[in-house]
Structure 1
Amino acid sequence: RIVWERAKTLGKDFRIHNLILPWSSNPQKWEKPPIGFMKVNMDAVVFNNKSGFGVIIRDCDGFVCGGCVGYKGDLPSTKWVEIDTLVEGISMARSFNFDHVIFESDCTSIVNRLCKYHVDITILGHRIIEIRGMIDLFAEAEVRWISHDKNKVVDKLCSMAMKNSCNLSFELEYPSDIHQLVILDSF
């Protein structure tokens, strides 16, 4: 029993999912940021050498302030697509002149690299250091891992970009299908 409790704790701590054991899924919703903060959620998907990405920015009341979806081809790996998506989110937040921002992604490896960016000497690590410098320009900013269940809107935006091979940026006025995704994620 003690071993099992320790294994469960480690699994939660490191977000390890054992595919052999049944997974009890508790539907999770997006959480509002603290008052005065903006939350930038990002995701990317790669399929058949094509990629789609999605970024959405919401305030502490859950209102959408802006976002974008995009479609690209022939990128080297999922990690690079996730990094490009993060840069897109940072650029959007800077263009709105937000000072207090929380960036959320369900890409564990990128979030971990951003939190430990001094020890990575690879090409990817060099890019991470550049991105960390961009993040440090905000008055207050944080990068967080978010479970896929809490990142549903941008996941759907990625699918929309891939399905329609489209690029779209939006601010306060945005398509009704995106509005529906945000509403469904709020309840």
Structure 2
Amino acid sequence: DFSRDCPKCGASVETLVHALKDRQTARTILTLGGLDGRLLNKDYPYCIDWIEDVICFLDKKVVADFITTLSDSWNNRNNYVFRGKEEEARVIWDRAKSLCQDFRIHNLINKPVVPMTPTLKKWEKPLCRTVKINFDVTVFNNKTCFGVIVCDSNGFVLGGGGDFKEEDMTVEWAELYAFEEGLKIAPSLNIANAIFETNCSIKWANRSCNKVVDFMCKYAIINNCNLVFGMDYPREIHDF
């Protein structure tokens, strides 16, 4: 039968908090690391409660060192359980300290694999005499909901609104629907110059990539007609 007692000190029912904090070797490692006695002497029913208190007490850089120390302490415990070998607390602490230092040096002299590009996460005022129309959409429970807000160059709200459809759309079509509703608001507020802003990704195509639709615009104007077709499209399209 598998025993749940602590293999080192014989404590009944070894818990995670006991293995990482209360076991003598683990406690010595944490003490060498300078962990505050209040975080070592207090009893915790669950390990997550103890770690939460530690994270709230320490700053971000020290928390990273703390997690590294816990990892080395846990590996040392496993070596004792499965191999019958356990290193001294000072050796474990020196290894954890060296590893943390190596990580710091690596982070200072090497570029991150995924570079962090700072992004501006606040609303930006449009140019003078220009209105900004922000719109967004949400698809939930077979409903498509949109929201629109209109602000001038001073940040004052000129109008806005929201609505929903009893229809389940893809994200792309839903964003297009919200954009369409934003376009309807512009003339109702007599807006001459507007900037539309959303978090949807939009790909702009230059004129050479859009020759067919450019032709259809001119075709409709020259012939003064509404151009709607299916398979029976105008023969001129073949020229493109």
**Of the two structures, which has the highest relative contact order with CA contacts closer than 8 Å and spacing of 6 or more?**
1
Q: Normalising to structure 2: TM-score of the pair?
A: 0.38
Whichever structure has more helix as a proportion of its residues is 2
Whichever structure has more strand as a proportion of its residues is 1
Q: Normalising to structure 1: TM-score of the pair?
A: 0.47
